[in-house]
Amino acid sequence: MTAEIIYDVVIAGAGPAGMTAAVYTSRARMSTLMVEKGLPGGQMTKTEDIENYPGFETILGPDLSQKMFEHSKKFGAEYVRGEIQQIKDGYPFKTVIVDGKEYKTKSVILATGAEHRHLGVPGEKELSGFGVSYCAVCDGAFFADQELVVVGGGDSAVEEAIFLTRFASKVTIIHRREELRAQKIIQKRAFDNEKIEFVWNHTVEEIVGDGMVSGVLIKDTVTGEITEFPCNGVFIYIGMDPLTDCVKDLGITNENGYVLVDEDMKTSVKGIFSSGDVNEKTLRQVITATGDGSIAAISSQHYVENLEEELKEMNLEV
């Protein structure tokens, strides 16, 4: 009979955080399994141009994803495509269930990411990357001297609208209510910015354009009237959803579903680490995800080394 494979670490997700973690763990000669339900690269695969990743003045998101993926496997990390249904805690081994199959591991690095909430209106999907964006830091510079729309009224929406005024000639915040939900100090900055205008009590019903965004159809929530509002780009900030269903029973997330970690990417469950956009954090970028992944990998390495010492003292095979 073939002995059951027990990995040193299973990495849940193959975005920039997960792939970086795989480079570090496999270079440390840890047996590594990386699991991803979609294409390796996460949100990078949906980003046309990346201009703020060191070493590349500009690079296509899919190209950077492929380079990272090839690097992540260079030192022997294994890769499985599948969806993780559940991660179970245990001692000495954790269990990761992927499409009904169980994998045993000494440690887990969560890197499942988060996804932007979509408006779900006509034109949004079709024009994504062609004027529709969910990241001002990533794409703002492409809209120099153009007129933009920001959808939302929370902290992120207002802060990103302020950031976009560095490039755009005008930024209009469209909000479904008659007042913003953002913190008062952030609101004041927006109200004081001459480049920012507001359309209250309106929702975006459709994003229009022939190959590129040319405007949005907006609906007055009071009168029901629909009008077309011209613009060159639409930035959508109505929230993000962390992909944490697989760990919902472990008690490692906050009320919004994001994973809570310390500076070493340790969760409250020993042997389970977390990195990237799935974590509660202020900045979600490729560069911050890779940093998280490297830290989580080193923490995982130290945990596994200590675990193996414990098991040896107990005369248990590892």
Catalytic residue numbers, as ranges: 135, 138-139
Do 227 and 204 form a contact (C-beta atoms < 8 A)? no
Please state, in angstroms and rounded to a whole number, the distance separating the CA atoms of residues 133 and 129. 6
Angle between helices 184-192 and 155-164 (to 10 degrees): 30
Radius of gyration over every alpha carbon of the chain, rounded to an integer in angstroms: 22
Q: How far is CA 100 from the centre of its chain?
A: 25
Q: Which two three-digit tokens encode residue 123?
A: 């034109």
For residue 219, report the phi and psi dihedrals to the nearest 5 degrees.
-115, 130
Tokens of 130: 């062609």
**What is the full DSSP assignment across 297-310?**
HHHHHHHHHHHHHH
- CB-side neighbour CA atoms (13 Å) of 9: 39
Residue type, 157: A
Joined tokens for residue 202: 């309106």
174: which strand partners? 151, 199
Question: 166 to each of 147, 189, 212, how far by Cα in Å?
Answer: 12, 14, 22
* Nearest of 57, 61, 27 to residue 45 by alpha carbon: 61
